[in-house]
Structures are given as C-alpha cells and as structure tokens.
Amino acid sequence: MSLVLGLAVAVAGAASAREVDSVCKTADELMMSPVTLKHVKMARAQGKPVRILVIGSGSTAGAGVSRPDRAYPARLESWLRDEWGQANAVVTTSAKAGQTAEQMSPQLGSLLKESRPTLMIWQTGTVDALRSVDLDDFGTALVQGIRLAMAAGTDVILMNPQFGSNVLRLRSIQPYLDYLYQVARAEDAMLFARYAIMQEWVESGRLNLAKTAKAEQDRIADQAHDCLGQLLARMIATHAQ
Amino acid sequence: MRDLRLDFFRGIALAFIFLNHIPGNIASKLSTRDYGFSDATEIFVYISGYTAVIAYGSVMRRSGLLVAGARILHRVWQLYVAHIFLFVVFTAQIAYVATRFDNPLFSEEMNVARFMNEPHVNLIQALLLKFKPSNMDVLPLYIALLFGFLPILFLLTRAPRLTLGISVVLYVLAIRFRWNLPGYPEGESWVFNPFCWQLMFVLGAWAGLRRDVMQRLAPYGRPLLILSIAYLLFALFVATSWRVAWLEGMVPPFLERWMYPISKPNMDILRLAHFFALAYLAVRLVGPESRMLQNPVAQAFIQSGRHSLQVFCMGVFLSFTGHFILVEINGSNSSQIVVSLGGLLLMWSVAVVLDWYKLASERRSAAQAVGVPERAAGVSRDA
C-alpha cells in the first residue's frame, strides 16, 4: 500500500502532500515557524536522501506504545517515506529514559559524526523540569548542542515535553518551555510545540488520558505517537520547500 | 507618613503569586506575567526591601544594632517555619499525586518523580534550604535576603551609594562567574539566585531609606513617562509574540539573539527594567493620597499586604487545594474562576481575622502607652 502511495506521490511531482488525519489535526499556528530547514531543502532539491537523527528521553524511546515501531520516530520515518519515497528518508533514534539536556549533550558530537544527519530532532526538557535542573545550565546545554549540529551541517528541531502527566503539573515547567522556545528563536532552530499540541488534544477530549483497559490505553498511546509523527512529517515537509 | 501603596501593591503581588501557582489557571492572565518580562516576584522582593528598611531601620535608630539584628533574626525564624510548613503541604500533595493514575505515555515522568520522592531525604534538604517545594516559591530567597540584611541596613544608612554600588557589582559578577547557592538534587542551584536578586532587594531598601525618589525624579517626569510606556509596550509586543504565532516573525533576529533566553534565576536586566518601568507608571498613576486606594477592593489588597507572610502561606496552601479541586472535581474555565476568586477571598479573610485579633488585643492593653507610636506608624512591624 505504502509503495503504491509512494509511487503516486513521486509521479504527482513535488510539494502537494496529503492532509494530516483529522484526529491529529492541530491549530495552524502550532505548525508555523519562521525557520526554513536549509539542509533538508537542499537534500530534497538534489534528490538526496534525508537522514534524520532523533535524540531524546523516555517518550522518544517509546514510553507507552505497544511496539517499538509505533513510537513517533518510526512513524515519522513511515510518513516521510510515504511522501518522499522509500529511499529518501532514514530516521535513526538515540533515546534513553531519564536523561537531561546536559546528559545528552556530550553524546551529540559522536552521534553527529557517526550518522551525519541532514536534520536533528532533539526532544528534551522533561527530566530537566522534573529535577528542577538549573535553568541557565539547561539553556547553555541547548545552545551548545544546537551550534554543534549546525556547524556539522545539520538542521535542528527542538521538541518540548509531553502534556498530560499529573506529576509534571506539580513542577514548574513553564520556565523550561520558555527556554526551549527562546533558545530556538535565538539560535534559528525550529521548535516542535508538542506540549501545546497535546494540551489542545487533551482539552478538546481527543486524547483521553483517563484510566481504561490496557488494550485501549495501547491504542490511545499508539495513536498519539502516530499523530505526532504525522505532524512532524508535515512540518518538516512544509519548511523544506 | 504611611504609604498605603506599599501594602496595596504587595497585596496585589500576593494575589498574582496565588493565581500563577495554580497550573493551567485562566485567571493567571490577570497577572502581569503574560504581558511583559517581570512578574510578581520582582514586586514582592522590591517592596520587601523597602518595608524592611522602614521596619528595622527604626528599630536600629531607637534601640541600636544588636536589637535590630535580633528582630531580624526573629523574623527570619518565622519565615523559616513557614517554609517548612509549605514543604509539608507539598510533600502531601506529591504523595497523593503519586497514587493517581498516569497514562503509560508518561512512564518516564512517573519514574523520575518516584525516584525523587524520598520524603526523608527531601526533608533534610528542605531544612537546609536546598530543596524547594515549588519553583515559584520566593520564601527561601526572602529568608536568605533578610538573613543578610543587618550589614546591608548598616551600610545603607552610612554610605548608601557605596552599598548600591557593591550590590550592582555583586549582581554583575554573579552573572559573569555563575555564582549561586547549592540546591538539591546535587548539581542544581537556587531557582532565585540570591546573589542576583539581592540587587532588587537593595534597590527597594535604598528607595525606602530616601523616601524622596519620586520627588527627585519629578523634573524628568515627561521623558521618564514616555520611556517607561515605550519599554512596556515593547515588552508587551515581545511577550505576546510568544503566544501569537504571526507576531513571532516580526521580532527581528538580532534582537532575539541578544535577548533570549531571558533569565529568571539571575534576574535578567530586561526583567529589572520592566519592573521599574511598571513601578514608575504605577506610582505616577496612584499617588500616596489617591482616591483609588479608598475603594473596598483596594482596601482588601492593602489589608492583605499588611500581613504578607500569613497571606502568602495561605495563598500557597490554597493553590494546592485549588489545583486539587480543578483536577479531581471540575477543571472547566468557570471552575478555575470560582477557585481563583474563592482563594483570593480566603486569603483576604486571613488578613481580616489577623487585624481583628490585633485590634482586640490592643484594646485590652490600651493602658500601655509605649506601644502606641509604633502602631500609629501604620506599617506592619515586621517586613
């Protein structure tokens, strides 16, 4: 099925892409960014494959999903392949639960050298907010990581924490969200506003976080990750034109 | 001469702190936080410096350095006890939340929280002022500032400009060399860096000592007003750009690179400037004898500001309760408004009860003439 779709899109030519599933839809503003993904754009223009490195903590490792290939990085790869062609999108993931930005920062250098990605998606801030990591240290780690990636010829997308956790409500998460936003703006990186996106889903009732049967919980988690993958794919494709 | 505005603005700051303490509270839009760079913390710290110098300066003049020092320490002890009380409330809340169901999507969040939730360890760290129950808790900062206040007070009365200079230098060096006090867990530091925030406290104290800042600024009234309004509008524009996507692109990149991130722990200069622009405007609009201060709502704020410590503690406690209600019972917008209003009224009622008690006990000891001049001063006896 995806092969047929891939061919169809390739035949149809460039940018016109299909709509995001209605259950995943989010406000247009949350999908907007003044940043253009220059390296992704160049790779697309030259017909080269886009290599994406996703670095993150628990949610990137697939917390809550029923199978590893249902986590959002795998779904991102699947959606991009549908859109750009099987060989044109490769996603590698490096994720470990419980890591702060400062802990992920030293690994960036070697990861970037190993996979030479066109785009790096850095999901962080969750553990930092929970542990009340020093805000300025958090900011510095972000800035250093972004600059390292950009110097290596890699576009950067920052992804902020998930919305909906009861324990996270008790910690003051806003300063970390603010820093992710502000550092992204200052360093010309893109921000994927997962927190706001999920908040809208929860408040509109589309994402049900209440206690239900295990099978239903699996389905909900899988759908949430799939939607995030879709939205990411959409945002990448739109800002690489 | 009593300046009701001190208590008025402090009462407002306490209201903002309460509203902002409840996560996802629509009423927090009433606070200044979303419309600029500074928030209730700046207001609170500045006014505290101002009232500290009034309260303890007079003690120092009347009874000497030692007695003033003892009074300050006594107050620090009260603040410390309040901090431990808030820690207990927080621990109860965390323990409760840990039992609630969290979707498996958040297994990492739960694990990290569980790992950090060791009440016996956290208690010791809280006693050492390293573990902060809430990241918005200004109490440990206040404790640190007041604890070191006696030398500041002494120096300010002898050499105000030198003291101010030292304060500014400390602020700059702390930012440059990343000075801060140790927090918990290991490797973390204070959410409100005392080495940086002391500047706001000292500025308040310096202004409290002079009492004539506005008169001295009067000749420059026009340009200062224009400057303040311009800066406030600029800050409003930037703060709104964080929330409204189409404004985002209008902030020039060079400005973003220079401004961001705007540090709250280190009291970023943008925040400092924003507070003073706001304060200047507020003080121009609301004169010391202003009729605005007569209306019942303003009187309620003034009353609350007079008993700031008790009202603050009640506020933090109620924010936990309010959050509980919103999560367990009803989290709708109208529920948030009801909880906010109810909380504010309860906070005010604490001040009412305290005033009533004070009046009742004063009537009983009316024969003693010694205490009268202090009470007539109108400002609360402790800062």
Percent of chain A with pLDDT over 70: 93
Q: Which of B112, B121, B190, B271 to mutate to test the interface with A (most CBs of A within 10 A)?
A: B112
Q: What is the pLDDT of residue A156?
A: 97
Of A165, A175, A178, the CB nearest to B109: A165
- Are A64 and B104 inside 8 Å of each other by CB? yes
pTM of the model: 0.88
Q: In angstroms, rounded to a whole number, what is the distance separating the alpha carbons of residues B90 and A71?
A: 34
Q: In angstroms, rounded to a whole number, what is the distance separating the alpha carbons of residues B184 and B129?
A: 9
Taking contacts as CB-CB distances below 8 angstroms, the residues of chain A near B110 are 165, 167
State yes or no: pLDDT of A6 exceeds 50.
no
- Are B259 and A139 inside 8 Å of each other by CB? no
Q: In angstroms, rounded to a whole number, what is the distance separating the alpha carbons of residues A40 and A117?
A: 10
In this structure, are residues A232 and A60 in contact, taking their beta carbons and an 8 Å threshold? no
State yes or no: pLDDT of A197 exceeds 90.
yes
Give kind and range of the element (H or E) at residue B267.
none
Q: What one-character-per-residue DSSP string does B168-234 give?
A: HHHHHHHHHHT---B-SSTT-B-SS-HHHHHHHHHHHHHHHHH--HHHHHGGGHHHHHHHHHHHHHH
Q: Which residues of chain B have pLDDT under 50?
A: 374-380
Q: In angstroms, rounded to a whole number, what is the distance separating the alpha carbons of residues B15 and B160?
A: 32
Sheet with A155-159: list strands edge to edge.
Answer: A89-95, A50-56, A119-123, A155-159, A190-192
Taking contacts as CB-CB distances below 8 angstroms, the residues of chain B near A168 are 106, 109
In which region does residue A188 sit, left (phi positive, over 0), alpha (psi from -120 to 50) or beta (all else)?
left
In degrees to the nearest 10, what's the CA dihedral of B246, B250, B252, B257? -30
Q: What is the pLDDT of residue B374?
A: 47
State yes or no: pLDDT of A195 exceeds 70.
yes
Helix intervals (H) in A36-173: 38-45, 72-84, 101-115, 126-130, 135-151, 166-170
Of A30, A32, A185, the CB nearest to B260: A185
Query: How big is the A-B interface in CB pairs under 8 Å?
Result: 149
Q: What is the pLDDT of residue A163?
A: 93
Angle at B235 between CA B253 and CA B301, to 5 degrees: 155
- In Å, how far are A57, B138, B201 from A74, measured between CA atoms? 15, 43, 52
- Phi, psi of B266, deg, nearest 5: -100, 20
Average pLDDT over chain A reads 89
Q: In angstroms, rounded to a whole number, what is the distance separating the alpha carbons of residues B44 and A15?
A: 54
Nearest chain B Cα distance for residue A7, angstroms? 34
Cis preceding-peptide flag for B23 (omega within 30 of 0) = no
- Are A183 and B260 inside 8 Å of each other by CB? yes
Q: What is the pLDDT of residue A189?
A: 96
Burial class (CB in 10 A: 0-12, 13-18, 19+), B111: middle
User: Measuring CA to CA, which residue among A200, A194, A236 is closest to residue A79?
Assistant: A236
Q: What is the pLDDT of residue A13?
A: 39
What sign results for the dihedral spanned by CA atoms A158, A164, A168, A173? positive
Q: What is the pLDDT of residue B271?
A: 96
Q: What tens digit of pLDDT does each residue of B86-101 get?
A: 888 888 877 777 777 7
Q: In angstroms, rounded to a whole number, what is the distance separating the alpha carbons of residues B167 and B72?
A: 20
Closest chain A CA to residue B242: A181
Of B97, B105, B187, the CB nearest to A221: B105
Residue where the block lists tokens 């500032």: B145
Average pLDDT over residues A8-15: 44
- Are A32 and B185 inside 8 Å of each other by CB? no
Residue where the block lists tokens 């039992």: B99
Question: How many residues comprise chain B?
Answer: 383
State yes or no: pLDDT of A52 exceeds 80.
yes
Closest chain B CA to residue A223: B105
Residue A238, SS3 per DSSP: helix
- In Å, how far are A57, A65, A68, A215 from A208, measured between CA atoms? 23, 15, 21, 13
User: Measuring CA to CA, which residue among B314, B310, B380, B323 is closest to residue B344?
Assistant: B314
Q: In angstroms, rounded to a whole number, what is the distance separating the alpha carbons of residues A7 and A212?
A: 40
State yes or no: pLDDT of A12 exceeds 50.
no
Q: What is the pLDDT of residue A37?
A: 95
Q: What tens digit of pLDDT does each residue of A63-118 get?
A: 999 999 999 999 999 999 999 999 999 999 999 999 999 999 999 999 999 999 99
Taking contacts as CB-CB distances below 8 angstroms, the residues of chain A near B260 are 182-183, 185-186
- Are B265 and A166 inside 8 Å of each other by CB? no
Q: In angstroms, rounded to a whole number, what is the distance separating the alpha carbons of residues B280 and A12?
A: 62
Tokens of B240: 């709104």
CA A94 to chain centre: 13
Closest chain B CA to residue A179: B261
Taking contacts as CB-CB distances below 8 angstroms, the residues of chain A near B244 are 29
- Are A167 and B188 inside 8 Å of each other by CB? no
Tokens of B26: 């629509």
- Are B183 and A167 inside 8 Å of each other by CB? no
Give the ipTM.
0.85
Of B110, B136, B263, the CB nearest to A136: B263
Q: Count Cβ atoms below 10 Å from residue B75 Cβ, excluding itself.
A: 22
User: Measuring CA to CA, which residue among B153, B4, B53, B63 is closest to residue B382?
Assistant: B53
- Are B264 and A175 inside 8 Å of each other by CB? yes
State yes or no: pLDDT of A179 exceeds 80.
yes
- Are B97 and A185 inside 8 Å of each other by CB? no
State yes or no: pLDDT of A56 exceeds 50.
yes
When mean pLDDT is compared over A146-160, A200-214, B289-303, the highest value belongs to A146-160
Nearest chain B Cα distance for residue A27, angstroms? 10
